[in-house]
Amino acid sequence: MQKLIEGIHHFQQEAFRTHQELFEQLSRRQNPDTLFITCSDSRIDPNLLTRSKPGDLFILRNAGNIVPPHGASNSGEAATIEYAVTALEVKDIIICGHSHCGAMRGLLQPEKLARLPAMASWLGYAEMTRRIVQDNYAQLDGDLLLDTAIEENVLVQLENLRTLPAVGSRLVKGDLHLHGWVYVIETGEVYAYEPRSSQFVPLAEYRFPDTELASRRRNTFEI
């Protein structure tokens, strides 16, 4: 706690004063362009990763960067996404997975969740991820299997995202874009899903789509 308290003092005395005008503007209104959905993992800092300022990102975090599909539950995730899309009118939604994800490791090794029943239940919203990996990547194991699950889960959660009425309406309208990213903690690299190649490619090689595209073999989300 002492470290956090000292950090607040530093923020108030230095960082806040440097950006006081910005914070005064934000006290009246927020106008983020992007909803950033990522894992609760302490090793991920969306603002540091994207070099964004306060007010640039509307952030939703949970274990496994999961989006329950429409009708699955009366979830805080659905409410947060609806607010971002309808009230704030964000233009982009990013779902960002990450390397060494503990949630995905638990999904692949459910026996490790014996003492975490709430987590085991929550990961039910990633059951499609588990089945896809089980049925299509039996030849993989270890870190390769985990990395594949992390990527597939980003795509599955994008599919779930598209089922939400507020998101679906904006996609039809054509003024909302969905993006799938994976952040590699140890190298700082970010990979983005490229529907033209059905692959995750380095972000520098990612071509932002002019129009929304039907994607990959399941043809269920737009990017």
Place 220 in a pLDDT band, splitting at 50, 70 and 90.
Answer: very low
Q: Is 92 exposed, middle or buried (0-12, 13-18, 19+ CB in 10 A)?
A: middle
Selected catalytic residue, list 10, 43, 131, 218: 43
Look at residues 210, 211, 158 and name the one whose alpha carbon lies nearest to residue 35.
158
36-49 burial, b at 16+ Cβ within 10 Å, e below that, comes to bbbbebeebebeeb
What domains, with CATH codes, occur in the chain?
Answer: 1-30 (no CATH), 32-205 (3.40.1050.10)
Active site residue 98: yes
- Which stretches does DSSP call E strand in 40-128? 57-62, 92-98
Q: What percent of the chain has pLDDT over 90?
A: 79
pLDDT number for residue 14 = 86
Active site residue 147: no
Q: Is 178 helix (H, G, I), strand (E, B) or coil?
A: strand
What's the mean pLDDT when you consider all of the chain? 91
CA-CA distance, 52 to 55, in Å (whole number)? 8
CA-CA distance, 51 to 156, in Å (whole number)? 27
pLDDT number for residue 9 = 85
| pTM score | 0.89
Selected catalytic residue, list 17, 33, 41, 143: 41
